[in-house]
Amino acid sequence: MTQSAMDEIALVPTANDEAAFTARTEEPAVHVVTSRTDSRKAKLAKKYQRTPLAFYQARYNKFASRSEVNTGTLSDADTARMILKKFFDLDDEQLLQDTEKHIEGLWRMKLNIPKFFDVRAAWPQCWAVHQIFNQAGCGSCWSVAATSVMSDRVCIHSNGTVQTQISALDLTSCCLSCGGCTYVFPVSLNIRGAFGSHEGCRPYTFEPSCGAPCGSSLYRKDRTPRCERQCQELYHKSYDQDLVQARKAYWLRAINGSAEYTPVVKTTLQRLINGKFTEILQRELMTYGPVLACFTLFEDFQHYMSGIYRTDENRSLQLYGHCAKLMGWGEEGGVKYWLYANTWGRDWGEHGFFRIAMDEIPEEVVAGVM
Q: Can you name the residues that pair with 344 across neighbouring β-strands?
A: 134
DSSP code for 353: E
* Residue 126 known to be catalytic: no
The whole-angstrom distance between residue 133's C-alpha and the CA centroid of its chain comes to: 10
Please say if 112 is a catalytic residue: no
Closest of 245, 2, 250 to residue 118, by C-alpha? 2
| 16 among known catalytic residues | no
d(CA 323, CA 339): 13
Give the sign of the dihedral formed by CA 185, CA 191, CA 196, CA 198: negative
CA distance linking residue 30 with residue 58, whole number of Å: 10
Catalytic residue among 138, 141, 178, 201: 141
Residue type, 275: G
CA distances 92 to 54, 56, 88, 118, Å, are 41, 40, 11, 32
- List CB contacts of 340: < 8 A, sequence separation 6 or more: 293, 324, 325, 326, 327, 353, 354, 355, 356
Contact 256, 366 (CB under 8 A): no
> How far, in Å, CA of 365 to CA of 37, rounded?
34
The number of C-alpha atoms within 13 Å of 256 and in the hemisphere containing its C-beta is 19
Please pick, among 61, 134, 190, 342, the residue that the annotation labels catalytic. Answer: 342
Q: Which of 178, 231, 322, 323 is catalytic?
A: 322
Annotated active-site positions, please?
141, 322, 342
